[in-house]
Structure formats: structure tokens, C-alpha cells
Structure 1
Amino acid sequence: MPRWTPDARARLVAAALELFSERGYDKTTVTEIAERAGLSKATFFRYFPDKREVLAAGQESLSQLLTQGIAEAPADATPLAAVRAGLARAAGSMTPFHRELGPGLLAVIAANPELQARNAAKQAGLAATMAAALRDRGVPDTVAALAAEVGALAFREAYADWIASDDQELPALTDAALDRLHAAAVRLS
């Protein structure tokens, strides 16, 4: 039994992932998701405009955390150090619930081209959020875009490593991924 008490939004996300895994994304209805979560269809629509958006739950919060972390980085922080601060803030917010749902989420996305496209848009949105936060710090556009893309890739790699492990923490994995990618970028020249 999980140590967390799932709220309605979390119950809907968990129910959707279960059903998508069992029946497939295309064959699952909003009504079925709501019923599996023990909620009404109206409650579903209070949280999500459609079933596709269930898989992007929390993106706004993640974007806000990335922005806050970047904004709060020391004034003399390099663009990559500011991204590291944003990633630390975002990674620190991830809970056992996120880890538990991760494998199912990735499997459902991998099985559906529409969801793959939505996930790519989500990743691009997170990179755009970080780039905007860096530009707000006075970082030039090209540098901000590059640092943000490296940060988004680091987060994606760290998340995949995190859900595959039982003992590693996401902030540490994110840090390690960012270090690996930075070292790889240095070797490009």
C-alpha cells in the first residue's frame, strides 16, 4: 500500500495508466478512467480537457519549479549552473508516486504515436520554459536555448534511470546526467 494518499488528480492519472496498459490508449474512454478512479466523468473534466492530457499531468508545476530554480540561482551562476538549480528544484519535487507510475507511463507512450508526439511537445515545452527563464537572467538566446536543451535531455535521462532503480534519488541522477552531457558537449569541439 502506498504511503501517500492519492488526491483525485493522482487517482485519475493512475487509473488512466492502468487502463491504457490493459486496453490500449485508443480503446480507453474518459468514462472508464473516471469509473476506475472511483470518480465521476465531470470530475475528470475538472482536471483534464481530454484523456491525452492525463499523461501531461503536472507539467505546469514542473515548469514553475524549473523557472523558480533558475531564477533563484546565484547571480553569477553560469547558464548551465542555473539550469542545474532549476533541475534540482524540479527533481526534488518528484515523489514515490511519480516513480511508481513511471514505467507504465513510458510503456504507454512508447506504444502510441499520438502520445509520443504529445510527449515530444511536453519535452519541448520544458526546454522552452528553461530557455525563457535563462533569457530573463540576461543569457543570450542561443546560449539559453542550448543550455535548456541540455537540461531537458539530462532530466529525461535521469528520469528513465530513476524509475529503473530502487535506491537512487532523482536529484543526484539529474546532476550526474547534466555532468555527462556537459562533458560530452566539451568533447564536440
Structure 2
Amino acid sequence: MSRWEPNTAERLAVAAVELFAERGYTDVTIVEIAERAGLTKRTFFRHFADKREILFSGQDAYRDMFADIITGMPAEATPMAAIGAALAAFAAGFADERREFLAKRQSVIAENSDLQERNLLKEAALTAVMADALRARGVQPPTASLAANIGALALGDAFERWLQPGNRASMAELAEQSLRALGAAIETLR
């Protein structure tokens, strides 16, 4: 086993997702993940609390990023402009070379009800952070909640489309398209 190499957490994540995709989430142990990554069980636990966390790491940083961007927008920015800026910043981190890994990860989540529940909780927490950030900007609660939910829908739609085989549009383009399409759909309800 290697003592230290860069990108340990990423190596563990790649090893875990590969194993989960091959054998199923419940049939893979932490020891097997560590061994696949060329590391020890102890190293695994330095980076992740359990094997579920390996699929959901980084969520706190994403939520903080959304909150910072939304609250940092100029005072004249509309709620949807603030949400759009946060989505654009988030989407900019989706590199094409990560698409295959993230598609496998989503397949693993889709095949396990406990992981689906965790994913829904993650999405709800992000929506709440967006709504809270908008309220901190002085947006009234119903408007803040609606804008945050539209942002979450746009993000989910863009992510699903980004993962589709053959898609070559960037996550940022897809997020902008989704947000615009949802805004247009709301206009038709008037």
C-alpha cells in the first residue's frame, strides 16, 4: 500500500464508483474500495465517514458556494438573476472528463433506495440554502422559496441532460437553458 499520493479522496471515489457499478453498492466493502485504490482502510476513514459519504462528499462546499454567490450579488439583481449566477458558477466546475464518472455515480444512486433518499435530502438542503440566501438579500419568503425551487428544478434538469450519452453541451449551457425554459413556462401561467 502506498503511503501518500496526491488525490487520495478522488482515487477512493473512483475506486468506489467502479466497484459499486460492477457489483452493486451493498456488496462492496470499505476494505475493497481501499484496496482497489491502492490504499488502506485507515486511509479511507481519514477522508470519509462511511461508503455512502464517498458518493456525497463536497456538499457543504457547494451549499456554501451557492449561499455566497446569491448573497454577494448586487442589490439590484433579481432573485432569478442571483439563482442564475449561482447555477452558472456551480456548472462551471463540471468538466467533460468527469461526465462518465458522474453518470456511473448517478446509476449507483438510482439503484439503491437509501442512496436515493440521501440524494433527495441533499437536493432539499441546497434548495433551502438558496431560499435562505435570497431571504438574506431581502426577498420575501414566498418569492425566495419559489425562486429556489425553480433553481433546483433547473439544476436537476440540466444535470440529467448533461449526463445523457451523446450530449456535448456544457453543464453551464444546459443550466442556463433550463432556467430560461422554466422562466418562460411560468410566464405562460399568467
Whether these two folds match at TM > 0.5 is: yes
**What pairs with 1:155-174 in structure 2 (closer than 5 Å)?**
155-164=155-164, 165-174=166-175
**What pairs with 1:118-157 in structure 2 (closer than 5 Å)?**
118-157=118-157
Q: Residue type of the partner of 2:61?
A: S
CA distance in structure 2 between the aligned counterparts of 1:102 and 1:83, rounded to whole angstroms: 23
Deviations 1:55-82 (CA, angstroms, capped at 9, x unpaired) = 1122122112212221232211111111
**How many aligned residue pairs are there?**
185
CA distance in structure 1 between the aligned counterparts of 2:9 and 2:32, rounded to whole angstroms: 15
CA distance in structure 2 between the aligned counterparts of 1:94 and 1:15, rounded to whole angstroms: 20
**What pairs with 1:1-189 in structure 2 (closer than 5 Å)?**
7-164=7-164, 165-189=166-190
Shift of 1:100: 2.7
CA distance in structure 2 between the aligned counterparts of 1:104 and 1:155, rounded to whole angstroms: 18
CA distance in structure 2 between the aligned counterparts of 1:119 and 1:188, rounded to whole angstroms: 30
Shift of 1:22: 0.9
How high is the TM-score relative to the length of structure 2? 0.90
CA distance in structure 1 between the aligned counterparts of 2:41 and 2:189, rounded to whole angstroms: 52
CA distance in structure 1 between the aligned counterparts of 2:6 and 2:157, rounded to whole angstroms: 26
Q: Label 1:180 to 1:146 Cα distance change in 2 as closer, same or farther (>3 A).
A: same
CA distance in structure 1 between the aligned counterparts of 2:71 and 2:98, rounded to whole angstroms: 25
For the aligned residue pairs, the C-alpha RMSD in angstroms reads: 1.7
Q: Point out where structure 2 has 5 or more consecutive residues left out of the alignment.
A: none
CA distance in structure 2 between the aligned counterparts of 1:6 and 1:124, rounded to whole angstroms: 33
Deviations 1:132-189 (CA, angstroms, capped at 9, x unpaired) = 1111111112211111111111111111111224521111110100011111222234
Q: Label 1:98 to 1:63 Cα distance change in 2 as closer, same or farther (>3 A).
A: farther
Q: Check whether the contact 2:161–2:167 (CA below 8 A) recurs between aligned residues.
A: no
CA distance in structure 2 between the aligned counterparts of 1:6 and 1:123, rounded to whole angstroms: 30
- After the TM superposition, which parts of structure 1 deviate over 6 Å for at least 4 consecutive aligned residues? none
Quote the sequence identity (%).
45
Q: Check whether the contact 1:13–1:57 (CA below 8 A) recurs between aligned residues.
A: no
How high is the TM-score relative to the length of structure 1? 0.91
Q: Check whether the contact 1:31–1:41 (CA below 8 A) recurs between aligned residues.
A: yes
CA distance in structure 1 between the aligned counterparts of 2:17 and 2:37, rounded to whole angstroms: 11
